[in-house]
Amino acid sequence: MGHLPVLIQDLGLILIAAAVMTLLFKQLRQPIVLGYLIAGFLVGPHFTWLPVVQDQKSIEIWSEIGVIFMLFGLGLEFSFKKLVNVGKTASITATFEIFAMILVGFIVGRMFGWSTMSSLFLGAILSMSSTTIIVKAFDEQGLKGRSFAPIVFGVLIVEDLIAILLLVLLGSIAVTQKFSGGDLLYSSLQLIFFLILWFVLGIYLLPAFLRLCRKLLTDEILLIVSISLCFLMVIIAVRVGFSAALGAFVMGSLLAETSKGTKIEHLTLPVKDLFSAIFFVSVGMLIDPAVLEKYFGTILIIVAITVIGKFFGTAIGALISGCSIKNSMQAGMSMAQIGEFSFIIATLGKTLGVTNDFLYPIAVAVSAVTTFTTPYLIKSSDSVAGWLSARIPERVHLLLLRYETAMTDSGQESVLSLLWKVHGIKIVLNSVIVIGIALAVRYAAVPLLGDNFFQKQPTLASYAACLIAVLLSAPFLWAVFVTGQPRSGVYDTQTLAILQRLQIGVSVIRLFIGCILVGIIIGNFTSIHAFSGFVLIPVMVSVVLLFSRHFEPLYNKIENRFVSHLTYKEQEEIREKSKLPGLVPWNVSLTEFELSQHSPLVAQSLQNSKLKNRFGVTVAMIDRGGMRLIPPKSDDLLLPFDKIYLIGTDEQLAAAQKVIETKMAVESEFDEESFGLVSLILNEEHPFVGNRIRECGLRESVNGLIVGIERNEIRYLNPEPNMVLLAGDVLWLVGDKGRIKKLQRHNGAGETSLIIKSVTVNRHESEERGESD
């Protein structure tokens, strides 16, 4: 007999348990993620009544792949630009919530009598929410189109970024027993630098690469290419000191800006679902009843503090950032759990030996319990937010509304904001590119030149690499040095006047920054003395300015292509929206839904669907394979996979979405065994007699099709709809035998009896009939 590797056995056991529990929870109409957790507990090491997973290390690797795919999918749905739109809100909310939970966690730890470091790590553990849990819950409940969803996902991404800084800060405090502002500042600048660099390179290179390969990109190849790009970014992120999850999200966000973003999202969805199931099962395997029993009181208190603290921390932070009361409360209820980075922080404390041994299992237990509660909290967020909002005093409600209006009203743009938009963004992006080129040449070109051309003169290799870096950076250095004159066609008269008055100061600042960048390039490759450096910098600056007429067209070409790639989706949306009806009021939104093949609306006319009467929404457009019905007519049929554009409030759209995107198993009353060829013998007094086939309603009654009629030993195959049914006719139908039996029982109650003869027709019987004919 062949030997089945342990890994395959474990994987099979996990998927079997997950399949059984998800079917059960789907039948019970409970969140599927809870089924995964219970499946993990059943196959985990703490439940011995069933076969258990043997190689847990391998399963942990599979679960890490699950986190990668889930964050990759999240990036595909919420790109960089979407996060920028909620950047201020997400940053303020996440920062307030994290510091509030760190403070609360620290105080609770000290009240338990824990050490200072254990209390500090507890606060950091409680400050991190679970991206994977929230994404899964939003997927199941169809909430990604709601107005508070971008706020939640923006906060989650900011939390992940802050978590990276927390790891550095906590590690430094644990080792030195003091706060190191320098380490924190360096880590922050490093994170910002690489995010900007990846964003610029990705937006410039990825669309061009996909366009170059567009004729080769079948669904299979596109799936392989997108996954390979995801793992390439994961490897790069880990190599420079960040998390694999961050790398996956970054690549997903970059691909979301390309023309293939939506297609990649659909192709990778099954892969993401598979590995996310493994991740949640692996989390369930960590549930230890012994720990729950031993620290039951502590765990219960920490769970309560997590749910209540994160609700109020997130809600207050969102209110401070200018969100509405309802959206703030819904975001707070969505964030009330701890997740992946909490495990990483707990592991760091355990590895460094600065926390108590029980902190990690308590963190796992709290994560498991809050994972159970999260889907229910999110599901009830609408009703709870409405209930709480209704009980806020009218005066407080009015003050919060005024504050929200003030925060969302941009008003007149400040001078600093104007300078940032006109000059700052351009300087920062080009400075990052210059530094990136210098680092790339330093770590790639210097070893190559030294090993192949300057084995005995390493100094010359550094000089040559420095020259290469300067040449490659020259167009971007020119963009930093040279201050373009503000054009009258771009800005209004008042803005133009302000920019012209500030021109001299801006030029001096640009020159100063450019000289620093040149110094950074030189410092990466040479060991020249400070005096020589001061001589080289003006020389190189002069060279850049002297050849600016050669660098300018090259840079403008690069910049135009970058802007074209960056605004590709916006240009497409403008073209699409030009074909749509006018904009809607501020309190409603225009949302796209895809009609499920299982929806009860399929094959109904727009009028019969009663979408407006039932849900209060307006159908603005139907997109059917590129054919757009604008506006759709009342007799237009709704077909599977139609894209329906609805106008309505969040509540109206959510109610309509449940019907439009119905995902139900095809169960109904159909039973394959009761479906077959059936004959009906009509009596003289039967109401079908004397009616045409088209009008008698027999087809609808038996949910079948009349395929033949026997009359006076003559057979009519596929009879015409106008044929009149007569007494004594034998009707042959392909239909549901159960329906016919119900009809027979109905007729036996005093109306007209049907003599029903069910037959099984096989090839042998058909041949016999053919011979007798």
pLDDT (average), residues 143-153: 80
Residue 149's contacts (CB-CB under 8 Å, 6 or more residues apart) are 138, 143
What is the arithmetic mean of pLDDT over 741-745? 54
Question: pLDDT grade, residue 769 (50/70/90)?
Answer: very low
- Confidence check: pLDDT of 666 > 50: no
pLDDT for 103: 92
Q: Is the CB of residue 255 less than 8 Å from the CB of residue 206?
A: yes
Peptide bond into 51 cis (omega under 30): no
Mean pLDDT of 443-453: 74
CA angle 259, 264, 266 (to 5 degrees): 120
* Whole-number pLDDT of residue 263: 85
Helix (H) or strand (E) holding 465: helix 458-481
pLDDT at residue 584, rounded to an integer = 43
Per the model's pLDDT, the better-predicted residue between 488 and 325 turns out to be 325
Position 586 confidence tier, pLDDT thresholds 50, 70, 90: very low
Which pLDDT score, from 0 to 100, does residue 738 have?
64
Measured in degrees and rounded to the nearest 5, phi and psi for residue 529 equal -70, 160
Least confident of 116-130, 151-165, 475-489, 620-634: 475-489
- CA–CA separation, 239 and 234 (whole Å): 9
Count Cβ atoms below 10 Å from residue 468 Cβ, excluding itself: 16
Helix (H, G, I), strand (E, B) or coil at 706: strand
Whether cis (ω within 30° of 0) applies to the bond prior to 45 is: no
Task: Among 263-267, 493-497, 582-586, name the one with the lowest average pLDDT.
Answer: 582-586
What DSSP string runs through 243-270?
Answer: -HHHHHHHHHHHHHTSTTHHHHHHHHHH
According to the model, what pLDDT value does residue 305 have? Answer: 93
Q: At what angle do helices 530-546 and 548-566 cross, to 10 degrees?
A: 80
Is 357 in a helix, a strand, or coil? coil
Q: Per DSSP, what are the bridge partners of residue 714?
A: 711
The H or E element spanning position 500 is: helix 493-501
Instruction: Report the alpha-carbon distance of residue 236 to residue 229 in Å, rounded.
Output: 11
Res. 600: pLDDT tops 90:
no
**For residues 391 and 324, is the Cβ–Cβ distance under 8 A?**
no
* pLDDT, tens only, 91-103: 889 889 999 999 9
Q: What does the pLDDT average to over 752-770?
A: 39
Average pLDDT of 262-281? 85
pLDDT of res. 102: 92
For residue 10, pLDDT beyond 50: yes
| Overall average pLDDT of the 291-303 stretch | 87
- What average pLDDT score do residues 337-362 get? 78
Identify the CA nearest to 237 among candidates 190, 173, 186, 176: 190
Return the minimum-mean-pLDDT range out of 227-231, 412-416, 571-575, 579-583.
579-583
> Per the structure block, which two tokens stand in for 483?
């201050």
Mean of pLDDT values over 527-547: 53
**Tokens representing residue 577 in the block:** 């929206």
Q: What is the mean pLDDT of residues 130-155?
A: 79
Residues 63-79 have a mean pLDDT of: 79
Q: Express as a percent the part of the chain with pLDDT over 70.
A: 78
Q: What is the mean pLDDT of residues 519-536?
A: 61
pLDDT of the residue at 677: 65
Q: What are phi and psi of 253, to 5 degrees?
A: -65, -40
What single-letter DSSP state applies at residue 627? E
Q: What is the pLDDT of residue 286?
A: 74
Residue 529 pLDDT exceeds 60 = no
Question: Taking the model in full, what pTM does it have?
Answer: 0.62
Which residue is associated with the tokens 């007569």?
Answer: 726
What's the confidence (pLDDT) of residue 231?
A: 93
Quick one: average pLDDT of 241-252? 82
**In this structure, are residues 68 and 248 in contact, taking their beta carbons and an 8 Å threshold?**
yes
CA torsion through residues 443, 447, 449, 452, sign: negative
Residue 391 contacts by C-beta under 8 Å, 6 or more apart in sequence?
none
Cβ proximity of 331 and 92 under 8 Å: no
pLDDT of residue 77: 73
Average pLDDT of every residue of the chain: 76
Write out the two tokens for 75: 């990036």
Q: Is the pLDDT of residue 472 over 80?
A: yes
From CA 492, how far away is CA 472, in angstroms rounded? 36
Average pLDDT over residues 690-698: 76
Q: Which token pair is 715? A: 């057979």
Q: Which of 28-42, 247-261, 364-378, 542-556 has the lowest mean pLDDT?
A: 542-556
Least confident of 274-288, 333-347, 583-597: 583-597
How does DSSP assign 503-550, residue by residue? HHHHHHHHHHHHHHHHHHHHHHH----HHHHHHHHHHHHHHHHHTHHH
Would you say residue 531 has pLDDT above 50?
Answer: no
- Please state, in angstroms and as integers, the Cα–Cα distance from residue 246 to each residue in 63, 92, 238, following that order: 16, 20, 9
Q: Using an 8 Å Cβ cutoff, are 237 and 247 in contact?
A: yes
Higher pLDDT, 482 or 224: 224
